[in-house]
Structure 1
Amino acid sequence: MIIPITGSVCYTITLDPSVWIFDDRKIKIEEAFSESVPLSESKNELEKASQRWERAINPPVNKGITRVEGEEILKHSYVMPIKDFIKNAEIKPEAVNATLVTSENPENDITITLQELEEGYLQFALNGKPLKSDGPAYFFYHDGSNKDNPIRNVKKIIIN
């Protein structure tokens, strides 16, 4: 269930979508493609970033989630912005595209621009559960143009 990011990067990294359900950066899928972002949501994002910074400096000691929070998580489908992970991999300057590996057959792979990758989302949960049968992740363009038909079975990302 891991997704490696390889190719023209300084650091090959692996993504584990199974743990993203606990990540504060996750977004409910219905909110990811909404037309407008209210000012209060922008402020909320700043508060979340501040909280992440605080946790990085003073990590919590196995802070769990409440039963109510756990039940709420299991009701929704989520996406994760991929930008932070791409930034951590440090793409080399000569790279121009990314290939989303979706099967054993290279003819089925999808090539997109780096900008499309950096602005995109990976869906990792449907109704609070991991995408097992056609996962581990789906890729969505930032504008939601493929929200009804995401790129499924994303198993690896190759920067080229």
Structure 2
Amino acid sequence: MENIIFINGKVKFPITLDPSVWIFDERKLDLDTYFDQQETAVNELEEYTKSISKHWDREIVEGAQLPGTKKKEKTFIKETMLTGSFGIRFQPFLENAEPSDDARFVVIESDEDEYTLPIEEAQHIILGFSTKGKPLTEDGPVHVYLNKDSKDHPIKKIKSFRVE
């Protein structure tokens, strides 16, 4: 139970988060490179369309790849998952909880303190859930990165997020 995080308070749907399953989530971010990248607005439909188009073009030019030809790629992905540091955006979880219309703040509750953020700023939080391929067992279950400047000083030992 200590690895579970709650989103509660002035929300339509209180949510229980389990960071141990996020390693399989395709929305995960590589924290080793994320903070060095330029922020750009991403249109998910456009990105999906581009990736499908690229795949389609490759199939037309090169033909279909047999399943055995992607072994090196799978090995690389597995190696990255075992040695990488990963995070995930807080925004989709907050949106799924559906904060009430009068909600203005998100309170981050940790073992040591409480941090209050306007709800607009809380949507930009990144939740780090693994470092060097290992879950954050000592000071986790997640680290909260408020912005790019908090890369070296995240909020640790998070218990819950309370919407007020």
Q: What range describes the TM-score normalised by the shorter chain of this pair?
A: 0.7 to 0.9
The one-letter code of the counterpart of 2:129 is: F
User: Unaligned regions of 5+ residues in structure 1, if any?
Assistant: 52-65
Which residue of 2 is the match for residue 95 of structure 1?
A: 103
Once the 2 structures are TM-superposed, how far is the Cα of residue 74 of structure 1 from its aligned partner?
A: 1.1
Query: SS of the counterpart of 2:140?
Result: coil
Query: SS of the counterpart of 2:154?
Result: coil
TM-score (norm 2): 0.76
CA distance in 2, matches of 1:121, 1:83: 9
Once the 2 structures are TM-superposed, how far is the Cα of residue 47 of structure 1 from its aligned partner?
A: 2.3
Given that 1:96 and 1:113 are in contact with CA atoms closer than 8 Å, whether structure 2 keeps it comes out as yes
The one-letter code of the counterpart of 2:9 is: G
TM-score (norm 1): 0.78
Once the 2 structures are TM-superposed, how far is the Cα of residue 112 of structure 1 from its aligned partner?
A: 1.2
Which residue of 2 is the match for residue 31 of structure 1?
A: 33
- Percent of paired sites with the same residue: 32
Given that 2:32 and 2:84 are in contact with CA atoms closer than 8 Å, whether structure 1 keeps it comes out as no
User: Unaligned regions of 5+ residues in structure 2, if any?
Assistant: 53-73
Given that 1:32 and 1:79 are in contact with CA atoms closer than 8 Å, whether structure 2 keeps it comes out as no
Which residue of 2 is the match for residue 2 of structure 1?
A: 4
Is 1:74 the equivalent of 2:82? yes
Query: SS of the counterpart of 1:94?
Result: coil
Q: Please identify the structure whose Cα radius of gyration is greater.
A: 2
Once the 2 structures are TM-superposed, how far is the Cα of residue 97 of structure 1 from its aligned partner?
A: 0.7
- State the Cα deviation string for residues 69-120 of structure 1 (Å, max 9, x = none): 32220111011011111110001011111111101x6xx1111111121111
Give 1:53-72 correspondences, 5 Å limit: 66=74, 68-72=76-80
CA distance in 1, matches of 2:46, 2:106: 28
Which residue of 2 is the match for residue 62 of structure 1?
A: none
For this pair of structures, how many residues does the alignment match?
Answer: 142
Q: CA RMSD in A?
A: 2.9
C-alpha change, 1:43 and 1:112, in structure 2 (3 Å) is: closer
Once the 2 structures are TM-superposed, how far is the Cα of residue 145 of structure 1 from its aligned partner?
A: 1.7
Query: SS of the counterpart of 1:151?
Result: coil
Which residue of 2 is the match for residue 118 of structure 1?
A: 123
C-alpha change, 1:43 and 1:12, in structure 2 (3 Å) is: closer
CA distance in 1, matches of 2:11, 2:43: 31
Which residue of 1 is the match for residue 62 of structure 2?
A: none
Query: SS of the counterpart of 1:116?
Result: helix
C-alpha change, 1:112 and 1:43, in structure 2 (3 Å) is: closer
- State the Cα deviation string for residues 30-79 of structure 1 (Å, max 9, x = none): 3322342589x87898229x89xxxxxxxxxxxxxx55532220111011
